[in-house]
A and B are shown apart, each in its own frame.
Chain A
Amino acid sequence: MNSFLNKIFATLAVSATCVLASVDAEMEGMEVVSRDDGTFLIGSPTFYFDRALGAGGIHSESELWTPRKLRYRLLFNRMSILPSWDPIETPSVWMKTGNEIGDLIYQDFLTDNNDRPINRTPILEVGVRTPLFHGFWGTFRLFQDDHYCFYSARSYRMNQVDGPFSFFGDNWPMFSSAYGGLGYTNEFINASVLAGMEYMWIFTESSRWIPVQYKPRIESRADFGNFSATLVYENAEYQNFRKKETGERKEVNGSLVYNCGESCKRGMLQLSAGLAFRFVDDDGVVYTGLENDRVVWPFLEMRFKPMNQLKFDVMFGVNDRDWLVQDSVEYQLPVPEKMNITVGAKNISGTHLNPIADTHEYFDGDTISLTTSGRMNLLQGYVSIEDTLAKFFSVGLRGSFWAEHGAETFDTEEFVDDGIYTFRHGDVARINSWIKGVTGEFWLKLWYKELLNFTALTGFERIDGNEKRFEVNPAEFFVAFNADWLINKTFRISHSLRYRSDAEWNLRSRDPYIVKGDWYWDATFEQRFPKYGISFAGSIIQALGKEVIEAPNGEYSRVRFFCTAKKAF
């Protein structure tokens, strides 16, 4: 290797010391905060715009229903991991706490009242999962994320509900959840029943934060053979204390799925099928509505793999209101063998991105339609190349072109100022013209045994279309440097240093709201004790970047630190 390359590698290795790939998330479902491969704008733990560069289309990932999200939470019209009711698989006990950095402590003695910074807010999580006892296990989890909840939003939300609205503290956090239950696991079945209570603020198309208290929420799951079943009961209480409004929704939802099993996966044709459903019964003032109070959504997944290098994937769902198709084809070129060249295409077509979501929102006498006529079509073709040039070094690139017609958007008819917030009237609509995009991504990976994994990646995207009608104009450019160090198999340092260019919200305020591009740095330091199954970790998130509001009616994304302790049984 020549000296020039040596210098490059040395430089990159040094860079790796100040960057990561697997920084711990402050809460399960908040991984988006540290994502570096696209546009990720956090309004609160219960609402964010998450779109990977190169995903195609102008929607965010959480807006799109897919079968893999069957056990996600449906928060209004978005599929969300948080608050997760996935039981932690490992028998263990864990605790997590942290705070946005910047409390005054003794600086308060030197600071005038008017110059005090806004109060910083914490997170908290405690949980346990017991070891198996004759196949039975128990679990309990309490978690709330008080970030993104202070400043203007707090006073507004305090007046919206009757009394405190969380399990702990006086911050009126955007969610606070607690549940516990029992499960049974053996080689044939994995089943659980969990029950709990939740406080949640859900963001809607009108840009309102609506308080919902689930009291109780009960979720049962069973995975047996090739089947997965989920059944949920929710008693959701709604209120607007200022307007003296109350309402209640009793909901039963769930799914039943047949998964392609092990022997099925070895075949040329792989089939899975399932059914998702929701039944609701509203009483009093409930701010959203589901047409006919029910939705039943049967779907089919198919993979056709005539040879190792070629595969077709199709997901098709249909009911009396909507249909949705997500399909793709991918071919790996057999030559040159080591280059790993893949060409592919994907398509998403349908009447609605999320066919199981509510269909209406009710806002001060107005009914906001959350569905619209017509259909969307997203087509994307791509090529990716990844080449391992040495035993410690690989490079890759991916380029794609996409075009979308009928993209879902929102036609705003009127903005309403409500003191602190700006709301909107209107309806979900379509952009019935073609939007085109071209993307390019390049990455470089370096690794040395398990000591170091380093990735540098960058991407750009150029979109051409009626951008003023996009909910969000995604960032055009990002660059990220990620590294994981594992020293002596027991000390992990994970870094992520990244830059994202400007992104812009167009439709939730009178003037476009620009989220300026910035650098961010996240890091996790973890002590591991393999013999004892113990982990102590500290993480700092959103450092370097200027503290800004990333979504209209959202709250500041602040630098925070949290620590985690886990012990496996």
Chain B
Amino acid sequence: MKKLITILALSLVSLLHAEDPLAFRNDSAAVANDISFSHLSVFIEGGEIYPMGDLMDAVKNTLYGGVGVRYTYWKNVDGIVMFQYAYFKPNAKIDYDGVHQFMGRVGIEWKWPVIHPVALGGGFTCDWTRADVENFDWNKKGGTLASNETEFGWYARISLPVFKYEKYSAGFHIMWEHLWTLPKSSNMLSAGISVERSIW
């Protein structure tokens, strides 16, 4: 009731406009404290993906490669955006050669001050897949992948940028990915190397 009266009391014009979800940009203190993008680097990476659990019966290990952007978010935390590609070959009897998979990830990475240069990260992942086939029977096994299929999930990652030379750094990483698929969720482990160049 109180809410209703408050609402009615406001002018119609103001009521008809939604709250600005980007209003935080007008917070001068937040702007002053924002050190995001004070450093930015790009990286390329590659490695191998290992399906885990039940998924080992579905697809084989495969290589992957990708690019990414790392930017300052907080003092000791970076933001990460990654795009990767892999071609998965079935480990079961499926009437096509493989599946194209594109992966997009957005997350953050915390530079662990105790064990330098270990960084611990995590975020959301989105995998887009499509079978390497045209006009496939939807009713056959693997048929759903003949059209675009997408699934979300989360990832956790440990990065070890052990080599550093001027603007370049290189190192290893291990990543666990969990996709919210059905009838069971899907897990994959990947390990690879990254080469990174600082832009500013």
Which residues of chain A have a CB within 8 Å of any CB of chain B?
24, 28, 54, 56, 66-68, 70-71, 86, 88-90, 92, 98-99, 101-113, 115-117, 119-120, 122, 190, 223, 228, 257, 259-261, 272, 274, 301, 303, 311, 313, 315, 328, 330, 342, 344, 346, 380, 382, 384, 400, 488-490, 525, 527-533, 535-536, 538, 559, 561, 563, 566, 568
Interface residues as binary, B71-115 with A (CB distance below 8 Å gives 1, 0 otherwise)? 001100001000000001011101000010000001010000000
Closest to B59 in A: A106
The answer to whether A528 touches B24, judged by C-beta atoms less than 8 angstroms apart, is yes
The answer to whether B15 touches A490, judged by C-beta atoms less than 8 angstroms apart, is no
Residues of A close to B94: CB separation below 8 A: 109
A109 CB contact (under 8 Å) in B9, B36, B90: B90
Please measure, in the bound complex, the distance between the C-alpha atom of A541 and the C-alpha atom of B9, giving whole angstroms: 32
The answer to whether A228 touches B58, judged by C-beta atoms less than 8 angstroms apart, is no
B24 CB contact (under 8 Å) in A190, A301, A530: A530
Please measure, in the bound complex, the distance between the C-alpha atom of A315 and the C-alpha atom of B12, giving whole angstroms: 13
The answer to whether B34 touches A113, judged by C-beta atoms less than 8 angstroms apart, is no
Closest to A346 in B: B1
Question: With A99-B151, A260-B11, A344-B2 in contact, do A490 and B181 touch (Cβ < 8 Å)?
Answer: no
Question: With A102-B181, A110-B54, A538-B106 in contact, do A92 and B22 touch (Cβ < 8 Å)?
Answer: yes
Q: Which residues 159-200 in B have Cβ within 8 Å of A in the complex?
A: 179-184, 186
Residues of B close to A88: CB separation below 8 A: 18
Please measure, in the bound complex, the distance between the C-alpha atom of A272 and the C-alpha atom of B13, giving whole angstroms: 12
- Interface pairs (8), CB distance under 8 Å: A68-B12, A88-B18, A90-B22, A109-B90, A111-B183, A315-B8, A530-B27, A532-B25
Residues of B close to A107: CB separation below 8 A: 54-55, 58, 181-184, 186
Please measure, in the bound complex, the distance between the C-alpha atom of A443 and the C-alpha atom of B7, giving whole angstroms: 21
A489 CB contact (under 8 Å) in B30, B88, B124, B183: B30
The answer to whether A530 touches B7, judged by C-beta atoms less than 8 angstroms apart, is no
B92 CB contact (under 8 Å) in A86, A110, A528: A110
Residues of B close to A92: CB separation below 8 A: 22
Q: Whole-angstrom distance from the CB of A135 to the nearest CB of chain B? A: 18
Residues of A close to B182: CB separation below 8 A: 101-104, 107, 117, 120
Q: Whole-angstrom distance from the CB of B86 to the nearest CB of chain A? A: 12
Consensus secondary structure, chain A interface: mixed
The answer to whether A105 touches B18, judged by C-beta atoms less than 8 angstroms apart, is no
A228 CB contact (under 8 Å) in B1, B13, B33, B51: B13
Residues of B close to A261: CB separation below 8 A: 11
Please measure, in the bound complex, the distance between the C-alpha atom of A392 and the C-alpha atom of B48, giving whole angstroms: 51
Q: Whole-angstrom distance from the CB of B8 to the nearest CB of chain A? A: 6
The answer to whether B144 touches A563, judged by C-beta atoms less than 8 angstroms apart, is no
Residues of B close to A531: CB separation below 8 A: 25, 31, 34, 36-37
Interface centre among B7, B15, B88, B144 (most CB of A within 10 A): B144
Please measure, in the bound complex, the distance between the C-alpha atom of A113 and the C-alpha atom of B138, giving whole angstroms: 9
A105-B151, A117-B182, A117-B183 known, 18 other contacts, Cβ within 8 Å: A89-B20, A101-B180, A106-B58, A106-B99, A107-B54, A109-B141, A303-B8, A311-B5, A313-B9, A328-B1, A328-B5, A382-B1, A400-B1, A530-B31, A531-B34, A533-B25, A538-B124, A563-B124
Please measure, in the bound complex, the distance between the C-alpha atom of A490 and the C-alpha atom of B35, giving whole angstroms: 10
Residues of B close to A561: CB separation below 8 A: 124, 152, 180
Closest to A91 in B: B22
B126 sits at the interface (CB 8 A): yes
The answer to whether B150 touches A103, judged by C-beta atoms less than 8 angstroms apart, is yes
Q: Sort A-B residue pairs by CB-CB distance and give the 6 closest, nearest first.
A: A102-B182, A101-B180, A530-B30, A533-B25, A489-B30, A531-B34
The answer to whether A67 touches B151, judged by C-beta atoms less than 8 angstroms apart, is no
Closest to B138 in A: A113
Interface centre among B20, B22, B182 (most CB of A within 10 A): B22
Residues of A close to B152: CB separation below 8 A: 98-99, 101, 561, 563
B17 sits at the interface (CB 8 A): yes
Please measure, in the bound complex, the distance between the C-alpha atom of A559 and the C-alpha atom of B21, giving whole angstroms: 24
Residues of A close to B108: CB separation below 8 A: 527
The answer to whether B22 touches A533, judged by C-beta atoms less than 8 angstroms apart, is yes
The answer to whether A122 touches B150, judged by C-beta atoms less than 8 angstroms apart, is yes
